[in-house]
């Protein structure tokens, strides 16, 4: 008998559940209990006749740190058991003769709620122009306007701005009282000529404003809190945590289930209709590769028997890098009570662009940096929102417990460096504004010595962090480079879909969690229509 415990607290998670005592057949098996998996588990089981199994490799409430619930604590969660602990291979520094560059930590949620349980809680759609590239490979029905109803379905937005949702499970709003230093940064942005947006989370505006957050009554609201917990008492939903998916099971070209392990024992779950991968840009691609679905030559090199040669699996990996300008202040910065990054801006690195390709985020703590420690201060983060650089995800064996080989290829396209340099100029102008004069701000990293384009580019390439938005490894579209078609079906196979951030063909100009929620909401409609 599986155990379920509903929890009313906004930050609580369902208790761990056990595998069924007898192998069962479900209508739909979901692999991955992160943002997308929680959405689909909740939406699909609204139909009492649909039996759903949700498998999650991580833990439930008992194993997640208490800090998950508390917004200011999120920066430390990437080094806890709530994260997979991934790092990239050494990244390029721009010079073929240079020493290998940094390995970048890539936090990824492990446990019910996935990355929504460890992220910075920013909830923004990104500008509508950031979705224009989704149709370049022939994807149908995935333009920004197509996604708007699904964005709305996810949220109850406090702003009341046009086009926002009013009845969704996620209660989203800007911080009620942003940190004083962040408000000074906002004033500085306006002083330097930047626009003031009304609803920077809504997808239609450029400029600077407080951003919506997944914070309710001072506590994080994850996908598990908003979607999964209210659905746990449904008799047609089973949830198994601590369940590592080993491989997909097939009869001919049709996926019919999943083999998974719990506590050293192997189990199988069969699907009468479909298996849906919701394990994210890393987990979903890994499982396809381990199951023999991917580039044939690479699979053979990893000792994996090729089931279906699909070259796009693991390709197109990309992410938002973030370059941090760290400032020491003579005035004490108040302790952060929110997510530390409560105000963002979307702007263009060049006026001729069709939309914003940069985000500037004001952060009320001095992010650790390689130049010098700062005990009191703030950070201005600069991120290229529509990067051109692309990389790969590979596996080295069929071992389901072996880590992947991750190479996002950060800054391998010089256009991304150029965009960041434009953003640094804008950020430095804000830091020099009279609005921040009272704080006595001094840039420590990269520092005044980094004044020319070459030194700033070198700093960007070697001192950046991941913004933790990996996407693209199972790209959506209709051409031969794509992994899933416009209905999220894995090309060339039956009974198998992917519905998470891995299908994003080109990353939009936002912290991507809001987009993943919308993808999952649309996937629920697609699955209902195919029944």
- Tell me whether residue 122 is annotated as binding: yes
With a CB cutoff of 8 Å and minimum separation 6, the contacts of 158 are 171, 172, 173, 174, 212
Cβ pair 50, 27 in contact under 8 A? yes
Task: Name all contacts of 89-92 with Cβ < 8 Å and 24+ positions apart.
Answer: 89/405, 89/406, 89/407, 91/407, 91/408, 91/409, 91/410, 91/411, 91/461, 92/409, 92/410, 92/411, 92/412, 92/461
Active site includes 469? yes
Phi, psi of 506 (to 5 degrees): -145, 130
- Residue ranges in 157-222 assigned as alpha helix (H): 180-191
Of 55, 53, 57, 54, residue with least CA distance to 82: 57
> DSSP assignment, residue 502?
G
Instruction: Single out the residue of 158, 139, 280, 302 nearest to residue 216, CA to CA.
Output: 158
- DSSP lists the bridge partners of residue 359 as 346, 383
Of 13, 127, 318, 469, catalytic? 469
CA gap 482, 525 in Å, rounded: 21
**385 marked ligand binding residue:** no
The number of CA neighbours under 13 Å toward the Cβ of 134 is: 28
Known binder of ligand: residue 120?
yes
Token pair, residue 192, equals 């330097």
* Crossing angle of helices 180-191 and 414-431, rounded to 10°: 100
Residue 394's H or E segment, with its range, is strand 392-394
Residues 133, 138, 141, 144: what is their CA dihedral angle, to the nearest 10 degrees? 10
Residues 30, 56: Cα–Cα separation, whole Å: 9
483 annotated ligand-binding residue: no
* 105 assigned to a ligand binding site: no
Query: Known binder of ligand: residue 121?
Result: yes
476: Cα within 13 Å, side-chain hemisphere: 27
- Identify whether the C-beta of residue 281 lies closer than 8 Å to the C-beta of residue 317: yes
Question: Which residues fall in the annotated binding site for FAD?
Answer: 119-122, 501
Question: Which residues fall in the annotated binding site?
Answer: 119-122, 467, 501
Question: Which residues fall in the annotated binding site for substrate?
Answer: 467
Positions annotated as catalytic residues are 469
């Amino acid at each position: 008998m599986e155990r379920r415990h509903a929890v009313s607290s906004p930050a609580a998670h369902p208790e761990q559940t056990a595998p069924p005592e007898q192998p069962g057949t479900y209508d739909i098996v979901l692999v991955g209990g992160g943002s997308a998996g929680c959405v689909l588990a909740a939406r699909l089981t609204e139909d009492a006749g649909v039996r759903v199994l949700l498998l999650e490799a991580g833990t439930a409430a008992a194993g997640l740190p208490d800090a998950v619930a508390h917004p200011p604590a999120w920066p430390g969660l990437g080094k806890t058991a709530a994260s997979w602990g991934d790092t990239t291979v050494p990244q390029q520094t721009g010079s073929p003769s240079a020493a290998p560059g940094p390995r970048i930590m890539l936090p990824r949620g492990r446990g019910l709620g996935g990355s929504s349980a460890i992220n910075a809680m920013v909830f923004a759609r990104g500008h509508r122009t950031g979705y224009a590239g989704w149709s370049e490979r022939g994807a149908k029905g995935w333009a920004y306007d197509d996604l708007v109803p699904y964005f709305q379905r996810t949220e109850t937005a406090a702003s009341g701005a046009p086009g926002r949702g009013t009845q969704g499970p996620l209660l989203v709003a800007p911080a009620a009282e942003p940190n004083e230093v962040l408000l000074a940064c906002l004033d500085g942005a306006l002083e330097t000529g930047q626009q003031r947006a009304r609803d920077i989370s809504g997808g239609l505006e450029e400029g600077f404003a407080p951003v919506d957050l997944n914070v309710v009554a001072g506590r994080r609201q994850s996908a598990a809190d908003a979607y999964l917990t209210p659905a746990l008492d449904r008799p047609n939903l089973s949830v198994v945590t601590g369940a590592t998916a080993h491989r997909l099971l097939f009869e001919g070209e049709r996926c019919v289930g999943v083999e998974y392990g719990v506590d050293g024992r192997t189990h199988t779950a069969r699907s009468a209709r479909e298996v849906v991968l919701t394990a994210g840009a890393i987990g979903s691609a890994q499982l396809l590769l381990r199951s023999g679905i991917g580039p044939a030559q690479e699979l053979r090199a990893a000792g994996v028997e090729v089931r279906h040669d699909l070259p796009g699996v693991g390709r197109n990996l990309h992410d938002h890098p973030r370059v941090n300008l760290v400032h020491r202040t003579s005035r004490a910065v108040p302790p952060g009570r929110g997510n530390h990054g409560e105000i963002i801006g979307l702007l263009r690195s060049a006026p001729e662009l069709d939309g914003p390709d940069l985000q500037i985020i004001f952060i009320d703590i001095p992010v650790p940096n390689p130049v010098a420690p700062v005990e009191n201060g703030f950070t201005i983060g600069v991120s290229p929102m529509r990067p051109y650089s692309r990389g790969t995800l590979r596996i080295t064996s069929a071992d389901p417990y072996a880590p992947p080989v991750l190479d996002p290829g950060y800054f391998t396209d010089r256009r991304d460096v150029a965009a960041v340099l434009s953003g640094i100029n804008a950020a430095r102008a804000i830091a020099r504004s009279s609005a921040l004069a009272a704080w006595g701000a001094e840039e420590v990293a990269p520092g005044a010595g980094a004044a020319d384009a070459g030194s700033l580019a070198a700093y960007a390439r070697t001192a950046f962090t991941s913004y933790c938005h990996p996407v693209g490894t199972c790209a959506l579209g209709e051409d031969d480079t794509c992994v899933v078609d416009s209905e999220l079906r894995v090309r060339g196979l039956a009974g198998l879909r992917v519905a998470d951030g891995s299908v994003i063909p080109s990353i939009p100009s936002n912290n991507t969690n809001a987009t993943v929620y919308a993808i999952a909401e649309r996937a629920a409609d697609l699955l209902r229509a195919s029944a």
